[in-house]
Amino acid sequence: MNTTYLSTPETRTKLAVFYSDTLLKNVIPFWLTHGLDREHGGVLTALDRDGSLLDTDKSVWFQGRAGWMFATLYNTVERRAEWLEAARSCIEFSRKHCFAPDGKMYYSVTREGKPLRMRRYVYSEAFAAVANAAYAKAAGDARAAEDALKLFSTYLRYSFEPGVMNPKFEPTRPAKGLAPLMICIVTAQELRANLGDVTVSGRTCTEWIDASIAEIQRDFLKSDLQALMEMVAPDGSVIDHIDGRTLNPGHAIECAWFVMHEGALRGDKKLIQLGAKILDWMWARGWDEDCGGVFYFRDVFGRPVQEYWHDMKFWWPHNEAIIATLLAWQITGDEKYARWHQRVHDWSFQHFPDPEHGEWYGYLHRDGSVSQRAKGNLYKGPFHLPRMLWYCSRNALDRGNPPPGKFPG
Amino acid sequence: MNTTYLSTPETRTKLAVFYSDTLLKNVIPFWLTHGLDREHGGVLTALDRDGSLLDTDKSVWFQGRAGWMFATLYNTVERRAEWLEAARSCIEFSRKHCFAPDGKMYYSVTREGKPLRMRRYVYSEAFAAVANAAYAKAAGDARAAEDALKLFSTYLRYSFEPGVMNPKFEPTRPAKGLAPLMICIVTAQELRANLGDVTVSGRTCTEWIDASIAEIQRDFLKSDLQALMEMVAPDGSVIDHIDGRTLNPGHAIECAWFVMHEGALRGDKKLIQLGAKILDWMWARGWDEDCGGVFYFRDVFGRPVQEYWHDMKFWWPHNEAIIATLLAWQITGDEKYARWHQRVHDWSFQHFPDPEHGEWYGYLHRDGSVSQRAKGNLYKGPFHLPRMLWYCSRNALDRGNPPPGKFPG
C-alpha cells in the first residue's frame, strides 16, 4: 500500500468529513431517535437492529456515558439545544434514580428508576463523573461540577483504598487490574478538560494521571513479553494462571491512546513513546492476520484462554484501534500507523455498520459475520462508536506533534 | 432416513459398545492420566489439548463431579481399584481443603488447597453430595454417607429458604431459576440410588424430586410458548426482559431426561410424557437446522440474546441431547427420537472429538470448527461427557418402557 487515507490533505479532509457525517447524520440521530426516554428521562440502550426496544431496563453506566457524549458534542462541536437537553435528561435521571441510600451508584435500574442491581465496583461513578463535568461546562450547572468531584472521589476511594471494595477473591493470591488505572486516567483527563486541573482526594487531575501512568508502566508493561498485562500481582509480577495470562488487546490499545493523548497535550515525547510502544506490542498481539479485525482475548503465552468469545470481533476494540492508530500517526508521523489505521478502519467499516438501519452491530464472529443483531445493551450504547467518530473527525486533519491544547477532552 | 443406530438389536449392540469403548479406552484414561493430582490429591481440570496443565487451580465443583463419576463407575461398571482410588482422592481433597470456616464450600482453590474464591451459590455442595453418596456405597464409608446428607441439606437451605443466599439483585423484580430445581432432582436421585430413599430437611429424596418436578411443571413450563423457561417470576409469570426471555435449550433438555429417567424408574407415564414434551419443545428451539448442533441460548420470542456465545456449540448440551433422545426413544418407542438421537450423535462425534489426543473439545463455533482447544477448565472436566457415555452404554440396548429398577443412578 503506497497511499493511505492520511497521505494528503485532501484525503485527510475527506476522512474527517466521513467521520463527522457518520457521527452527526447516522449514529447520534439513531440514539436521539430511539434511545432517549421521553417518558421517564435518561437513555435506553437495549435496542434491536431497527431501534425498537428490546428491554426497558437502564444501564447506569450509560446514563453517564451518554450524558458525557451529548454534553461533549455541545461543548466542542455545536451548541445544539437537543444535545444539551439529552445530556440534561441523563444527568437528571441519574441524580434521581441511580444512587443507593449509602451514596454508591447502582449498576442497573428499571425504566422508571427502581433499583435492579448493585455491583461491587465503581465504574458507574466514573462515567457519572465525566458526564457531570461535561454537563457542568455545557449548562453552567454548579451542582454538576460539585457532583463530578464527589463522584471521582468515590471512584478513587473504592478503586485504590485497600479494603473499601468488597473483594471478589480470597486473600490467597492478591492481584490488581489495569482497568481501574485506565479509568482513572480518562476520568481525570475529562474533569481537567471541563473543570480545570481540580484537586480531588488530595491530588490534582494531572497528578492522578501521572501516578496512574507510572503504575501502569512500572507494573503492567512487560518488556520481556512485549505485552501490557490486564492483571498482575501487587508487586507487578505476572500471575501464571489463566486469568493472569489473559490479554485484552483492544483494552490495552485504548490505554495506549489515553497515554498518547496525554503526551500530545503536554508535548511530552516520553509519554508519546510509551503509548506508541503499547500500541505496537498490542497491535501485534491483537490483529487477526488471517481474517482481519482485533481479537477480544489472547493468552500472553499463546495458550487457550477461558472466555468463549475470545476470537470474536467486538465493536469497541475496533473503535479504540481506529483512534489509537490515527493518533499515533498524527503525533509521530510514522507511516506504519497510517497503514494500520487504514487496515482497521477498512475492516471495521466493511463489517460493523448496518446499512439499512444505521449504527453498528456490536458482536461479529471471527470472520466478520454478524453474531447478534442488536444495536445496544447494558454494555453497548452511545459511547465507544460516537466517541471514536468525534475524536477522529477532529484529529484526522493534522500531522505532526501538535501543540498543547490542540486536543479536545 | 429409514434405519437408525437404534433400528436393530445388532446396531444397538454396536452403539452400546461404541459408547463403552469411548468411555473406558479414551475419556476416562485421559483424566486418570492427566487430571489426577498424584502430588496433592483431587483432580486438575485445566488441561490443554494434549493433557498438559494449563492452570493448577482446582475447581471445587469438579472434586465432586469427578469423585461421583469415578465412584459410580466403580459401583456400576467394574470394581477397578484405580477408580475407587481416584474417587477417594477427590473426596479427601474436598474434605481437607474445600470448606470455609463457616461450613460453606468454596468455588475454587489452589492446587495445594488454599482458598481462592467463594461464590454465593451452592452447586459445590450439590456436587459434593452426590460424590459422597456414591463414594459411601463404593467404599462403605460411613462419614461419606453422613456428609452426603449434610451437604444436600445445606444445598436445600441455601437454594430454597428465602433470605439464606446473598441476593444478586435488588428486591425490585423477584425471580427464580430452573437450575436449583434441576440440581435438586438429580442430587436426590443420586442420593436415593446410593443411600436409599433417605430423609433430608424433612422430606425423602423422592418427595424432593416430586416437589421440584411439580414446581417446574407449574411455573416454568409454558404451553402457550412451547418452552421451558430458565427464569420466571415467583408466581411463574414470564419476565419480559432479556434475562427472563433467554432459553437454554441444552439445559432444558437435561431437565427433560432427569424427568424421563424418574418416569422410567417408577413406570410413571405422566412423568415420561412431561419429559418428552420438554424434549420436543426444546429440541425445536435448540437444534440448528442450518449448521447442525444445539445452540447455547435462544430468546423465547426470537429476539437477540445478550450473551455473546449464544450461537456457539458447547460440548455439554450435546451430551445431554444424546442422553435425552436415546432415553426418549427407549421408553416411548417413538422413531422420531431415534432419528434425533442419530442426528445429534453424528454431529457431536463428527465435531467434538480430538482424534489425536482423545477426549472432546469443549467450545466450537456455530459451524462446528474448534474455537478453543483446551480439554478442560473450571467448567469442563470428567463429568458431562463420561456421564453421557456411561449412561448411554447401559441404556442403548433395550427398547420399550423398562421396569422400575432398570436404570442406573
- Yes or no, beta carbons of B371 and A310 under 8 Å apart: yes
Host H or E run for residue A221: strand A221-222
pLDDT score of A399 = 65
Structure pTM?
A: 0.96
Alpha-carbon distance A285 to nearest alpha carbon in chain B (angstroms): 17
Q: 10 Å Cβ neighbour count for A373?
A: 15
* A114 at B interface, C-beta within 8 A: yes
Contact between B337 and B349 under an 8 Å Cβ cutoff? The reply is no
What's the rounded Cα separation, in Å, for the pair A268 and A262?
8
Distance from CA of B175 to the nearest CA of A (A): 12
pLDDT < 50 stretches in chain B? 1, 401-409
Q: pLDDT of B25-67, one tens digit each?
A: 999 999 999 999 999 999 999 999 999 999 999 999 999 999 9
Q: Which value, in Å, is the radius of gyration of the alpha carbons in chain B?
A: 20
The Cα–Cα gap between B274 and B287 comes to 20
- Cα separation, B348 vs B338, in Å, equals 15
Give the CA dihedral A370, A374, A375, A379, nearest 10 degrees.
-100
Distance between B396 CA and the closest CA of chain A, angstroms: 32
Chain B partners within 8 Å of A124 (Cβ): none
Contacts of A116 in chain B (CB under 8 A): 169-170, 172-173
Q: CA nearest B302 in A: which residue? A: A54
The H or E element spanning position B176 is: strand B176-177
Q: Do A242 and B46 touch (CB under 8 A)?
A: yes
Task: State the Cα–Cα distance between residues B298 and B315, nearest whole angstrom.
Answer: 17
Based on the number of CB atoms within 10 Å of its own CB, is A25 exposed (0-12), middle (13-18) or buried (19 or more)?
A: exposed
Residues in chain A: 409
A46 vs B374: CB contact, 8 Å cut-off? no
Selection from B57, B67, B73 nearest residue B129 by Cα = B67
Smallest Cα–Cα separation from B87: which of B25, B29, B131?
B131
φ/ψ (deg, to 5) at B307: -70, 135
| Cβ atoms A27, A383 nearer than 8 A | no
What are the DSSP calls for B101-125, one per residue? TTSPBPSEE-TT--EEE--SS-HHH
Find the residue in A nearest to B307 (Cα): A372
In DSSP terms, B363 is beta-bridged to B314, B372
pLDDT on residue B397: 72
Strand, helix or coil at A143? helix
* DSSP one-letter code for A402: P
Closest CA of chain A from B132, distance in Å? 26
- Residues in chain A with pLDDT < 70? 1-2, 398-409
C-alpha cell belonging to residue A299: 493468552
The secondary structure of B194-232 as a DSSP string is: HH-S-EETTEEHHHHHHHHHHHIIIIIEETTTTEE-SEE
Chain B contact present for A369, CB below 8 A: no
Q: Using CA atoms, how far apart are residues A109 and B208, in angstroms rounded to an integer?
A: 36
B48 touches chain A (CB under 8 A): yes
A60/B contact by beta carbon, under 8 A: no
**A360 and A353 Cβ atoms separated by less than 8 Å:** yes
**What per-residue confidence (pLDDT) applies to B400?**
53
Q: What local confidence, expressed as pLDDT, does residue A164 receive?
A: 94
Name every residue whose Cβ is closer than 8 Å to that of residue B102 and which is 6 or more positions away in sequence: none
| Cα angle B92, B97, B99; round to 5 | 110
Query: Which residue in the set B48, B303, B311 is minimally distant from A54, CB to CB?
Result: B303
Distance from CA of A132 to the nearest CA of B (A): 26
Measured distance CA(A335)–CA(A342) in Å, rounded: 11
Taking the C-alpha atoms of residue B66 and residue B145, their distance in angstroms, rounded to an integer, is 17
Q: Distance between CA atoms of A260 and A253, rounded to whole angstroms?
A: 10
490479554: which residue's cell? A247
pLDDT for A405 equals 43
Q: Please, which residues bridge with residue A221 across strands?
A: A228
Separation between Cα atoms, residue A353 and residue B117, nearest integer Å: 40
Mutate to test the interface with A, among B306, B312, B315, B316 (most CBs of A within 10 A): B306
- Residues 138 to 157 of A: which have CB under 8 A from any B CB? none
- Return the residue matching grid coordinates 495470562: A245
Q: Per the CB < 8 Å rule, is A308 touching B305? A: no
Residues of chain B neighbouring A54 (CB-CB closer than 8 A): 242, 303-304
User: How far is Cα A124 from Cα A107, in angstroms, rounded to an integer?
Assistant: 6
